[in-house]
Copies of this chain bind each other. A is one copy, B any other.
Amino acid sequence: MKPSIPKGTRDFLPEQMSRRNYIFDTIKDVFLLYGFEQIETPAMETMQTLMGKYGEEGDKLLFRIQNSGEKASEAPEKGLRYDLTVPFARLVAQYRNDIHFPFKRFQIQPVWRADRPQKGRYREFYQCDVDIIGTNSLIAEMELIHIVEDVYHRFGINVVLKLNNRKILAGIAEYIGEPNRLIDITTAIDKTDKIGEEKVNAELIERGLSESAVQCLQPILRLSGSNRSKLCKLRELLAGSQTGLQGVQETEEIFDLCDASGADLNIELDLTLARGLNYYTGAIFEVKALDVEMGSITGGGRYDNLTGVFGMSGVSGVGISFGADRIYDVLTELDLFPADSLKGTQVLFASFGEEELKYALSCAASVRANGIRTEVYPEPAKIKKQMAYADAKHIPFVAIVGSEEIQNNTVTLKNMITGEQRQLPLQQLVETLKS
């Protein structure tokens, strides 16, 4: 039997795992700095919780779990988590009496989708979601923008944050005379990046928009100038749409708050930004890396009624999700993983024989007591083999123990990068390794 794993899933070996941990830890540190708290939900949810939340296509992509040895009547159908948003909404509704609002939560867990696997698309992948729920305040949007700034600053990735507002898009739909076609419009223009303007227009016609509406639409989406001047023009164009004006107002306030709080992120009001998901009702965001070709690496927006379907209405929230896999690819492509994101064992003890090995064990214990990550090669193998092990694990120092070292109460410390080696008394070993 040839060992293998299901299509679209992955194993993470130590080197990848260290890099992934660097990503998760960096993101988590920033979330905590802003007062967000971590939660976890089960991998399985009832099908009742999952079904109908992700559109018809999404329903088909849910992984279902077979009931095992239970009667269907006592065990509701179950499926694997498809995203972190719906379980979060379920949790908020379920524990509404235990939660203190505004609730600032983050969640870093895998999700599963029965998508056809292809390059960069997996059936199991992690999401890193951060949401503030239970406030209408646009300070929440501002805070997420600061989080994006801080996270990508720490990664050293230059990004642009594209901002839009579903209410502005609704206003534009009214303006072009198609007030009931908002979803058709957002679904189509969301593809502009991928298929281009012409094909988007063709799709809009196909979806039943009038020729004149489509002709009217594109010049608005392509409004040029600074963010503030775009807002000015929109305020004129959307004068007849209360919703549209509210969207303009909200966007302006977000820019004001960002200025007041000293945000230094490259933000662009992009009217073609639509976000596929239909639960967004206000600001929407998407982040792209500037120095590399890659889709959106972070995205999200405001939703006004995510918990309504779970019996808790009138609760507004806003959230974003960081795409760990794409961030991994960007960091790899731009060679931005810091050297110490791989930091593992700092010193390996290698010994020439059984006696030396015992001596090494007691040395290692005292080195380790100083918080230094320490290994002892567990067999008196050939020194060459022990060195190869240190090399393979990128261990920077090897402490070699032979009979001479035991006699002198020393070790011979070899720097695996420079090749330099010298005999050291034990007391000096810890100091040398610490510096």
Interface residues of chain A, those whose CB is within 8 Å of chain B, are 1-7, 9-14, 17-18, 21, 32-35, 37-46, 48-49, 60-66, 68-70, 75-76, 78, 80, 90-91, 93-95, 98-100, 102, 104-105, 110, 112, 114, 123-124, 132, 135, 137, 139-140, 142-143, 146, 257, 260-262, 309-311, 344-345, 348, 357-358, 361-362, 364-365, 368, 371-376, 378-379, 388-389, 392-393
Contacts and interface: CB of A to CB of B under 8 A. Distances in A.
15 contacts: A3-B91, A3-B93, A6-B76, A13-B98, A18-B38, A32-B373, A68-B114, A100-B389, A132-B378, A135-B379, A143-B378, A146-B365, A257-B358, A262-B362, A262-B365
B309 A34 contact: no
A46 B361 contact: no
A337 to B, nearest CB: 16
Copies of this chain per assembly: 2
Contact of A66 (B7, B17, B66): B66
Nearest to A123: B44
Given A139-B361, A362-B262, A39 B12 contact: yes
B102 A42 contact: no
A361 B12 contact: no
Contact of A4 (B46, B62, B262): B46
Contacts of A38: 14, 17-18, 21
B3 A311 contact: yes
